[in-house]
Structure 1
Amino acid sequence: MMKRKENKEKLYLSDKPPLTLFGKIGIFITYVILFAWVYAIIWPLFQMFVSAFNGKQQQYIMANSNFEFSIRHFQYLFTETLYLTWVKNTLIIAGTTAILTLIVVSFTGYAYSRYRFKGRNASLMAILLIQTIPTFAGITAYFTMHSIVSAIIPQFSRQMMLILIYTGGAIASNTFILKGYIDSVSTELDDAAKIDGCSNFNVYRLIIMPIARPMLTIIALWSFIGPFMDYLLAKVLLTSPQSYTLAAGLYTLVTDFRTMNQPAFAAGGLLTAVPIVILFIALQKQLVSGLTSGSVKG
């Protein structure tokens, strides 16, 4: 009996058969592709980091330049450009976009998931079809809308128009994402809460939203990052350097010969990543704790 038991343990010691020659070749090719992919990502970032702190870099980035640690490119950003203004503009646009997107998407995602109303499928299909149209294709419509609204409200700026464009695009795409997430939440929680006397709004506020907090966190992060990454719309709609976002403003350091400074552009790129990284780290806890704390509160 003891021998049989030992044989069984040896037999099931590993449930994976030994690799064949083709399997080893496949693993080797996979690792080569992964290393090439990592190199393609890390190498430009490394060059940008080195160039930002290299005092011997002048107007253009020279790959073979000797390294001398310096922060003069950062000083150039803060003293010779409108970098702080661009940061302020981007934070206002990104923060407002994220807040408006969260407020609207939390309602639309819940409504499409839990309610059946006339025109529901048609409106969902319309939202889906709108997503297939490139944002830049509507640039003429954006200018027309801005002209109409600014004639009625003189204080309506191009930055406000940009916020509405970012928010509208984020609402359309994230409504589907949040709807799918709430669909996975059992409706028995809703029924139990209603039996206890909760209204529809309290079900939304006390049950659904805490459970959907991880997805809302992701939506907020995506909505906040969008204005930092977008160059095209900001460059077209914003006409003065004082109103530029970071992407549009920093791009003048590599396209305009009057302000050409590629190392300063690299320094600005590094600084641009700072608020995004901080926000991501701050919201990581919500991604983990939102699932459990939301269900307990419900």
Structure 2
Amino acid sequence: MKKNKNKNLYLSDRPPLTLVGKIGLFVSYLVLILWSLAIVLPIFQMVSSSFNGNQGRNIMLNTEFAFSLKNFEYLFKETHFLTWVINTILIAVATALVTLLVVSFTGYAYSRFRFKGKKASLMAIMLIQVIPTFVGITAYFTMQSIIESKIPIFSRQVMLVLIYSAGGIASNTFILKGYIDSISPELDEAARIDGCSNMQIYRLIIMPIARPMLSIIALWSFIGPFMDYLISKILLTSPETYTLATGLFTLVNDERNMNQPAFAAGGLLTAIPIVVLFIALQKQLVSGLSSGSVKG
């Protein structure tokens, strides 16, 4: 047998990297490492400052670490932290439920039905997404004052839920419509042959397959009230009604109440409900994708 004298043979389907390819790969890894450090280092600093008993009112990077829970004790004893948590969770849950309920119907209607004004309303939804939320702060405050004077039971928390839900409905309707468009209409036709109504098709066919996107919409809607500061600061006027973002900001914007390590501890605790929800929704995402692949 003749020996193969070609030393350039390789087993991989891809050719070996050239010098330019190796430089590009090195730069890509360098950018990813720097980006990871930019994300991880602030989180590490927040966690270490939360449990560091040697920190004063300000976070010092060169302070020797001594494990302590005094910053968490300050949150629960000296502030309305528990009240802020309850307020935020109630607003977040209500926002997620209202957004999911409305978006599931609007996304289905825009995807499967033809009606007058469909294109114009979709264009309006797209334009609404371009307008920044803070532009309507004056209008929100005026509307709240008028409604509250007429209907005393209409609280500022309810107004916040409506504002967050309205913003979420506008953007998520367009997203869910595109997702439902990818579901074959043949499933609807087969269900109608079996005698299913439009509502039964919506409940038994469309929603189980669209569960992954609904889970993402629920997560986005839930996270919104945790992250928003500006609107809640304008509408909520007393510390007992603050959300977490508004309440925690009082620990860093006022010299009389300045406590940056306690602010870091509050930020760490704020992340817990979001992480728990994300872990819980992971199973829904996987099961929804599996269900969609079988039904499709």
Please report how far the alpha carbon of residue 291 of structure 1 lies from its aligned counterpart in structure 2 after TM superposition. 2.5
Match of 2:151 in 1: 153
Contact kept in structure 1, 2:141 and 2:234, CA below 8 Å? no
Greater Cα offset, 213-222 or 15-24: 15-24
Gaps of 5+ in 2: none
Matched, 1:199 2:197: yes
Matched, 1:262 2:260: yes
Gaps of 5+ in 1: none
Contact kept in structure 2, 1:131 and 1:173, CA below 8 Å? yes
The share of aligned pairs that are identical, in percent, is 72
Q: Deviations over 1:52-97 (max 9, x none)?
A: 0000001111111011000010011000000000000000000000
Matched, 1:26 2:33: no
Match of 2:206 in 1: 208
Match of 2:136 in 1: 138
Please report how far the alpha carbon of residue 247 of structure 1 lies from its aligned counterpart in structure 2 after TM superposition. 0.5
Please report how far the alpha carbon of residue 152 of structure 1 lies from its aligned counterpart in structure 2 after TM superposition. 2.4
Greater Cα offset, 37-46 or 149-158: 149-158
Match of 2:103 in 1: 105
Match of 1:58 in 2: 56
Contact kept in structure 2, 1:212 and 1:290, CA below 8 Å? yes
Match of 1:217 in 2: 215
For residue 47 of structure 1, the aligned residue among 38, 41, 45 is 45
Match of 2:231 in 1: 233
Greater Cα offset, 20-29 or 266-275: 20-29
Please report how far the alpha carbon of residue 149 of structure 1 lies from its aligned counterpart in structure 2 after TM superposition. 1.7
Match of 1:174 in 2: 172
Query: Cα–Cα, structure 1 residues 84 and 11, in superposed 2: closer, same or farther, change >3 Å?
Result: same
Please report how far the alpha carbon of residue 144 of structure 1 lies from its aligned counterpart in structure 2 after TM superposition. 2.0
Please report how far the alpha carbon of residue 151 of structure 1 lies from its aligned counterpart in structure 2 after TM superposition. 2.5
Matched, 1:120 2:118: yes
Contact kept in structure 1, 2:71 and 2:265, CA below 8 Å? yes
Please report how far the alpha carbon of residue 238 of structure 1 lies from its aligned counterpart in structure 2 after TM superposition. 0.9
For residue 274 of structure 2, the aligned residue among 276, 284, 297 is 276
Taking the aligned partners of 1:204 and 1:14, their CA distance within structure 2 comes to 48
Match of 2:243 in 1: 245
Taking the aligned partners of 1:31 and 1:297, their CA distance within structure 2 comes to 40
Taking the aligned partners of 1:3 and 1:192, their CA distance within structure 2 comes to 64
Taking the aligned partners of 1:203 and 1:16, their CA distance within structure 2 comes to 47
Taking the aligned partners of 1:256 and 1:242, their CA distance within structure 2 comes to 17
Match of 1:286 in 2: 284
Taking the aligned partners of 1:90 and 1:243, their CA distance within structure 2 comes to 9
Please report how far the alpha carbon of residue 253 of structure 1 lies from its aligned counterpart in structure 2 after TM superposition. 0.4
TM-score, normalised by the number of residues in structure 2: 0.95
Q: Deviations over 1:127-176 (max 9, x none)?
A: 11111111100111112221222222111111111111000000000001
Amino acid at match of 1:16: R
Match of 2:160 in 1: 162
Please report how far the alpha carbon of residue 296 of structure 1 lies from its aligned counterpart in structure 2 after TM superposition. 5.4
Q: Deviations over 1:184-216 (max 9, x none)?
A: 000000000000000010000000000000100
Please report how far the alpha carbon of residue 283 of structure 1 lies from its aligned counterpart in structure 2 after TM superposition. 0.8
Greater Cα offset, 145-154 or 232-241: 145-154
Amino acid at match of 2:47: F
TM-score, normalised by the number of residues in structure 1: 0.95
